[in-house]
Structure 1
């Protein structure tokens, strides 16, 4: 999402794009984790003492370090770009600890390192005299219609799996008041932009 004050350049499908080397590392980590798990199931505690197990675990730890370095580099470059291009930046003050307790959101949050992102962005904004606006964690950015202001409550709310009552998908926002149909992320961005003005 490329967001400017009063302007959105929204390109679907490019939000969650990961570098190829990071995707490759994630696959390798998954492979090593499964290999070690299988060895523990077959051989129990004895597995951890075998040379093969120790070598595989060392490879896994090496790839964890590589992932951390790549993520840190991406985070630094992205936050620098944001601060250079915009005078006001709005992000949601997510309840990260609570969200990590849910299986669906935990892996994505861990990989996104949201808390670290917020911290870096905060001090870079301070250094450069830019304004960082934190939307309160209870601000209904995903439930509010950016067109008419209607806020979904109760069984009408959109969750991680969409809305069961209305049969909507996770990535779509349908306002039951004015009938607007939008991408959920795009609707959220418009709601966050409203906090700047």
Structure 2
């Protein structure tokens, strides 16, 4: 019988140390953090699956961890020990085993905090996304308590598909629809990749160079859409958190909304959950408050003048008209 193997991180580390010379005699060529990152992810995935199966984890059911092949996963490694620093020119970083790496963007903001002793680097995560390599730092930061520009002001944010957000002040934030704009190009790139000779696990066939090139082009197109959407959400949430003392948003059932096959693509393109996540921590950073209204509260059916609640309000009715008060 196969001896039992513990699923905790220490147990997985012991098993790896006992088998690495046999299964991976080249293990000394890589940083120990590469293996530790994979073991941590495996231990976390096994624990989440076990807790979900045993009813100790709320939310959607978590499946058993699947094998992450080289082509079907995001390469990443977290460095927690060794030399991790930003160079004085602020254009290079030093990481264990990788040495001195040049940055595409300047690290001056992080360097200023490190020089002023208001931040300390705890770890560095290196990952590949959309054909590019990124490094992100986890830091302990001393934050100065901020106050919003209008601490007594309250604003309601109504999220939607046609308009990304409509504020209670009357301001309308348009929905750029980055995915909708890039759909034609992404479909063309997907067709191009499907015409190339790709991998076949049944026969062991390796992908062609042209397939790898087309796959990289499609991945970069997807990454561009993600980056554009994330940048727009960051700008909107930062502006709201810095200006208003209280921000009210609705507790949307995004999973249920995605069941609508006609609007699922547009809803996924807006990033409702990401916008709420950003507002949650940015309001705390800026000394504000985020209020999440109950999803069953009839805000759209309630008249702002007299408080009358309509029994029914069709989605096609874009302008609210109150019969009792005429608003």
Contact 1:92-1:135 within 8 A present in 2 as well: yes
* Deviation, structure 1 residue 60: 2.5
Call closer, same or farther: CA 1:53–1:174 in 2, change over 3 Å.
Answer: farther
Structure with the largest fraction of helix = 1
Call closer, same or farther: CA 1:116–1:32 in 2, change over 3 Å.
Answer: closer
Show the counterpart of 1:10: 170
Secondary structure at the residue paired with 1:152?
coil
Secondary structure at the residue paired with 1:101?
coil
C-alpha distance in 2 between matches for 1:172 and 1:179: 12
Alignment of 1:72-91 (within 5 A): 72-91=230-249
Call closer, same or farther: CA 1:35–1:122 in 2, change over 3 Å.
Answer: closer
Deviations 1:94-122 (A, max 9, x none): 11111111134322321221111111110
Structure with the largest fraction of strand = 2
Contact 2:247-2:290 within 8 A present in 1 as well: yes
Show the counterpart of 1:31: 185
* Deviation, structure 1 residue 9: 4.3
Deviations 1:16-48 (A, max 9, x none): 153xxx75x7434323326646x79xxxxx746
Secondary structure at the residue paired with 1:132?
strand
- The correspondence for 1:98, drawn from 247, 256, 265, is 256
Call closer, same or farther: CA 1:144–1:65 in 2, change over 3 Å.
Answer: same
- Of stretches 130-139 and 71-80 in structure 1, the one that deviates more from structure 2 is 71-80
Secondary structure at the residue paired with 1:88?
strand
Contact 1:143-1:157 within 8 A present in 2 as well: yes
Deviations 1:132-166 (A, max 9, x none): 1111111111111212212222xx3222xx1xxxx
C-alpha distance in 1 between matches for 2:244 and 2:229: 22
Call closer, same or farther: CA 1:53–1:175 in 2, change over 3 Å.
Answer: farther
Show the counterpart of 1:49: 197
* Structure 2 residues not aligned, in runs of 5+: 1-149, 156-166, 199-207
RMSD: 3.2
* Structure 1 residues not aligned, in runs of 5+: 41-45, 163-168, 181-197
Aligned residues: 155
Calculate the TM-score normalised by the size of structure 2. 0.41
C-alpha distance in 2 between matches for 1:81 and 1:17: 16
Show the counterpart of 1:190: none
C-alpha distance in 2 between matches for 1:34 and 1:142: 40
Calculate the TM-score normalised by the size of structure 1. 0.64
Q: Does 1 or 2 have the higher relative contact order (CA < 8 Å, sep 6+)?
A: 1
- The correspondence for 1:157, drawn from 313, 316, 321, is 313
C-alpha distance in 2 between matches for 1:104 and 1:176: 32
Call closer, same or farther: CA 1:72–1:27 in 2, change over 3 Å.
Answer: closer
